Amino acid sequence: MALRFIRIVCFSTSSLLKTAARSRPLSTSSALRCTKTEQGDSSPQNEQTSEESTEEPHMEEEIPESEVRQRLLDAALEFIPSHGWSVEALAEAAQTEGLPAVSHGMFPRGGGDLALHFVGICNSQLTEQMAQETEQVEEGHVERRHTREFLKDAMETRLRMIVPYVDNWPQAMSLLAQPNCAPDSLKLLSSLVDDMWYHAGDRSADFNWYTKRVTLAGVYTSAQLVLVRDQSPDFQDTWQFIDSRLDNLEQLGKAVRGVAPTVESLAQGLSGAYLTIRNITGFNVRNR
């Protein structure tokens, strides 16, 4: 829990730092790097001293590559409604940052990279919210909610983040399903459901861990599909769909637990029958 708190603090400070640095346009990152001083026939010693003096204060630090990518992806989000999840959106974003349209080449998967970035941001936001709630529960300010209610709420929150882009979300889904993006997309989905279950209170250490996450991932994916076709006011159909699916999950869990004694007795019965038959036929019995 302390670790999660530290994570939140780090996340917020890093985002604060980013906003501080954001004032500098991306195009200045390369401005002073290639020095074109007239050097002539200088000897090694002169080279060395002139080199030390070229570490001037006016030589700005270059913006890290990851930050360049982050900024471009963030800027591209506003062009998605008009250009879709595509390199055109990335190119428009590059132009607002003062870079040429060819900079979209920084993202070899084009629209797929943009979709992955968006999914990553949404997942982080959701995790942050859930972590805050968990922290409050642990500190005793709030009561822990029922698992089913928590999951329903988490799913709704997460799906509402897609709503601004719901018109071309099918394009994003198809991009995420392509082989160059599918592994990363699957990773994001699995970490999403893992976080949801963890903050819902799941601490299982047996095969349940897997079944819970797989089934929740199934619910989430199908809810996404319902969301993009949903025409009801405020997407009520989608939230009801999630309700029903979570009901199914609960029933499935109960059914599995209910069946266990029957399965055990069935297994005992079968092994008994086998032994009886073996004894009667004398097959594979060693005479001592």
Partner 1 sequence: MAALRRVSVHLGRVCRCSNRIIVSRRNLSEQTSSDESDKKESTERSTHFGFESINESEKTGKVHEVFSNVASKYDVMNDAMSLGVHRLWKDRFMQVLDPLPGTRLLDVAGGTGDIAFRFINWVKEKEQQQRKATPGAEFRLNPLETDEPASTPEFPSAEDYLNTEQRADTSDTDEKKDSKVIVCDINQSMLEVGKERAKKLELEDDVVWVTGNAEELPFPDNSVDAYTIAFGIRNVTHIDKALCEAYRVLTPGGRFLCLEFSQVSNPLISSVYDLYSFQVIPVLGELIASDWKSYQYLVESIRKFPNQEEFAEMIREAGFRMVSYDNLTSGVAAIHSGFKI
Q: Of 9-17, 89-97, 115-123, 131-139, which part binds partner 1 (CB under 8 A)?
A: 89-97
Residue 228 CB, shortest distance to partner 1, in Å, is: 21
In the block, tokens 């082989």 appear at 179
Answer for the pair 70, 15: CB distance below 8 angstroms, yes or no: no
Nearer to partner 1, 107 or 150 (CB): 107
Is 87 among the residues that bind partner 1 (CB under 8 A)?
yes
Give the Cα separation of 59 and 259 in Å (integer): 71
Output 107 or 220, the one with its CB closest to partner 1: 107
Window 4 to 63, contacts with partner 1 (CB under 8 A): 26-31, 33-39, 41-42, 44-45, 47-48, 51, 54, 62-63
Closer residue to partner 1 (CB): 42 or 136: 42
Residue 104 CB-density burial (10 A; 0-12 exposed, 13-18 middle, 19+ buried): buried
Residues 6 or more apart whose Cβ sits within 8 Å of residue 24? 60, 63
Closest CA to 80 of 173, 168, 205, 210: 168
Q: Least distance in Å: CB of 205 to partner 1? A: 42
Q: Measure the CA angle with vertex 284, ends 281 and 285; round to 5°.
A: 80
Smallest gap from Cβ 73 to partner 1, in A, equals: 14
96 binds partner 1 (CB under 8 A): yes
DSSP state of 68: H
Residue 88 makes contact with partner 1 by CB under 8 A: yes
Between residue 60 and residue 79, which ones bind partner 1 under the rule CB under 8 A?
62-63, 65, 68
Alpha carbon distance 18, 27 (integer Å): 16
**Residue 33 DSSP one-character state:** T
**Residue 97, CA distances (Å) to 57, 130, 211 in order:** 25, 33, 45
By CB under 8 A, name the one of 81, 100, 164, 269 that touches partner 1: 100
Q: Which is nearer to partner 1, 110 or 112 (CB)?
A: 110
Q: How many Cα atoms occupy the beta-carbon half-sphere of 203 within 13 Å? A: 1
Q: How many CB atoms lie within 10 A of CB 70?
A: 15
Q: Which two tokens stand for residue 99?
A: 């870079």
Q: Does 139 bind partner 1 (CB under 8 A)?
A: no
Q: Quote the least distance from Cβ 16 to partner 1, whole Å.
A: 24
Q: Does 113 bind partner 1 (CB under 8 A)?
A: no
Interacting residue with partner 1 among 73, 75, 80, 91 (CB under 8 A): 91
The residues of the shown chain that bind partner 1, judged by CB under 8 A, are 26-31, 33-39, 41-42, 44-45, 47-48, 51, 54, 62-63, 65, 68, 87-88, 91-92, 94-106, 108, 110
